[in-house]
Chains A and B, each alone.
Chain A
């Protein structure tokens, strides 16, 4: 059973584009979509509407920086402060490379910081690379299984 990719994205257009990109990258992982920071934390903590979900952490979290209710930085901070979650790779996906955001993200222990390219083919490549690296190539924390691409 492959671990899912958790996609945290509020903007419906961004969501659609990211899902298309992930589909095109032909990753076999399931993509779980949540729409704001509060939902993301509910999912990770298995509470609220996610109380009944299958145990286990996602392979990687693709986290938008600007989110309703609880923003991406707050989510990241909580992940890194929670023992059961802090090993999960987190990739910050954002519209801009404002220096303060980059600095703050790395301070909080982000694994990668990706500015969504305006050009769609670049966006496709970025998402495919991200999925490949974090969901496939990266050695996951102990206890998780590694995805082997079908021949």
Chain B
């Protein structure tokens, strides 16, 4: 290996340079590349190295013959502020023949589509890699989330032990190595007994620090790893990274008992096979993932569809227990809502669930919480392993400690380790970092207290499910708020009712008592007229009290009774009201001017009451007119029908129009116009319950016009 300056001056050289070129490493330093490898070789490389097109990963630049007649494949990459050039001795003067490798790759490409499952694909890749490089054992292994690798496929030459199905502990590959595997796609150690050749000088002259040879093909590896290889009985090894979505999914790991060189063209082929395998795994996983998500989502949609039907939230949820169970592939489901605990399937007992939900709340698990090894975080779960080794807890209220809990049973797992992974910790005398384990004989471990892990899609969709639940809860809350509003409205009316009972109803009673006392007091008096008046007052008060009670009752009933709309001929209804007013009109001269009136859709009983109130008011307030003129007409539009009642009576002061339709509001003196102050309040209530509007206009002393609208599209309240 040589490291070069941008002008191709030699900055560092491997200490073993003399073994290959006959020239001392020390004497090479400071010279030009041409002086070290010979002019013809230099001429071949110069162009490649100077173009500046050199990448950050080693690439094959060509095969050269140096001054002493030896042939080398040359790799170059620009890294660590240097041009790093690596020379691998070969026994041919020409570049390798790639043709049979192309067939290998295209054969693999053709066959990948025939294999659906990831193990089958991996097996195919293992076979192709082995036929490319000729090693004795090629394994594909996959890392689990905790970093343990499990052999999912292998291809063996006769005489090699099988590791298929066995697991290699995460500690076999340190974190730095994993990161390197992610960045660099291929590594080769062709002889575990090699003698490393250091660079001279030892430090990178540009940076002043140790060289970063992360990506160099010929770099030396950790002595621990070499020992590991020797312990495993493999003197040559190569590994190709399998990257899925930027993460180290697994490795293609190749072993050979004897040292075995793999030339650059074969390494490149293996790299490509690895890339194709990575892509295939990615698509297969994506497809599988998508299918899985679709299935879970379908169950969720089904769940939600059945949820919205009942009123009580908890009952509602418990009505879909079977779907909830399927949704999360759980063994048991529980709903915890305050003191209520509802369970389905295989769950711990109520007390255990209560304690668990308290623990969840205490530990602030206000977002979704899930584990496939509950006892690990919640020691009390050791007694619950049978049905609650796995837990997914979904808080379903932001205010209360309400949880939806899914339980998964224990899944007793037997892991077959390639050698006892705990063994190296068992050697107290050696620093564990530097002592890889001795034995790779299969070692069985049974794992307790774990459940099937929760799939990412299950967790995500559970959160989505919660949003939907909260949405439903919100909708319900809105309904409640509406109900509360309605209640408060009727409560307000009830208050107004009791208020007026204490005011308006008490007054006539007080009057009766007062005038009775006065009447008794004046029993000896000669003033007959005065006593007559007291009696008259008493009689009037009693009558008023009776009418007040009637009106109050009708007003309160008006708020409660359901409306039953029907088709109403307004002309008929008006003439009915006028007939009824006959007694009140008596001998008075009232002129009725009634236009052609439309047919409308409303509750006949209620509308009759409203219309009668308006007409009766018109008759009452025109008491001093001769003739009294009352006009009735209607405006019919596409949206609504507006009915107007106009009179030439006393009218009212527009300053107080805002009080006109209020309960027990009067704008006139009692002795001028009798009334309880409920009539117009009734009219407003009836019209508003039909979704309409009521208003009035007047000029004091010159009559009034009352109008109300009834919409064509009734919105009944």
Q: Which residues of A contact B (CB under 8 A)?
A: 10-14, 16-17, 20, 35-36, 38, 65-66, 68-70, 94-96, 98, 116-121, 123
In contact, B509 and A118 (Cβ under 8 angstroms): yes
Chain A residues within 8 Å of B665, by CB: 68
Chain B residues within 8 Å of A70, by CB: 656
In contact, B510 and A95 (Cβ under 8 angstroms): yes
Q: Which residue of A lies closest to B534 (CB)?
A: A16
Chain A residues within 8 Å of B511, by CB: 11, 13-14, 17
Chain B residues within 8 Å of A96, by CB: 499, 502-503, 506
The residue that A16 contacts in the complex, of B502, B537, B666, B668, with Cβ under 8 A, is B537
In contact, A68 and B668 (Cβ under 8 angstroms): yes
In contact, A14 and B659 (Cβ under 8 angstroms): no
In contact, B513 and A95 (Cβ under 8 angstroms): no
In the complex, besides A98-B503, A118-B506, 4 extra interface pairs with C-beta distance below 8 angstroms are A11-B507, A13-B511, A17-B514, A66-B504
The residue that B669 contacts in the complex, of A65, A68, A119, A121, with Cβ under 8 A, is A68
Rounded to whole angstroms, the CA-CA distance of A95 and B499 in the bound complex is: 10
In contact, B518 and A119 (Cβ under 8 angstroms): no
In contact, B499 and A98 (Cβ under 8 angstroms): yes
In contact, A66 and B503 (Cβ under 8 angstroms): yes
Query: Contacts A16-B537, A94-B503, A95-B507 hold; do A121 and B517 have CB atoms under 8 A apart?
Result: yes
With an 8 A cutoff between CB atoms, is B275 at the interface? Answer: no
The residue that A118 contacts in the complex, of B513, B518, B659, with Cβ under 8 A, is B513
Within 8 A of A (CB), among B644-684: 653, 655-656, 659, 664-671
In contact, B507 and A14 (Cβ under 8 angstroms): yes
Chain A residues within 8 Å of B227, by CB: none
**Which of B507, B666, B671 has the most chain A CB atoms closer than 10 A to its own CB?**
B507
In contact, B502 and A95 (Cβ under 8 angstroms): yes
In angstroms, how far is the closest chain A Cβ from the Cβ of B409?
63
Chain B residues within 8 Å of A20, by CB: 518
Rounded to whole angstroms, the CA-CA distance of A10 and B675 in the bound complex is: 13
Rounded to whole angstroms, the CA-CA distance of A13 and B533 in the bound complex is: 11
Query: Contacts A120-B517, A120-B518, A121-B517 hold; do A69 and B510 have CB atoms under 8 A apart?
Result: no
Rounded to whole angstroms, the CA-CA distance of A123 and B512 in the bound complex is: 13
With an 8 A cutoff between CB atoms, is B440 at the interface? Answer: no
Within 8 A of A (CB), among B512-540: 513-518, 537, 540
Rounded to whole angstroms, the CA-CA distance of A98 and B498 in the bound complex is: 10
Rounded to whole angstroms, the CA-CA distance of A16 and B541 in the bound complex is: 13
In contact, B541 and A10 (Cβ under 8 angstroms): no
In contact, A69 and B664 (Cβ under 8 angstroms): no
Rounded to whole angstroms, the CA-CA distance of A98 and B656 in the bound complex is: 24
The residue that B510 contacts in the complex, of A35, A36, A118, A121, with Cβ under 8 A, is A118
Rounded to whole angstroms, the CA-CA distance of A123 and B665 in the bound complex is: 25
Nearest first, the 10 A-B pairs at minimum CB distance are A120-B517, A96-B502, A13-B511, A120-B514, A95-B506, A17-B514, A69-B656, A68-B666, A12-B671, A95-B503
Q: Which residue of B lies closest to A120 (CB)?
A: B517
Query: Contacts A66-B664, A68-B669, A118-B510 hold; do A13 and B502 have CB atoms under 8 A apart?
Result: no
Q: What mask results when residues 529 to 565 of chain B are scored 1 for a CB within 8 Å of chain A, else 0? A: 0000000010011000000000000000000000000
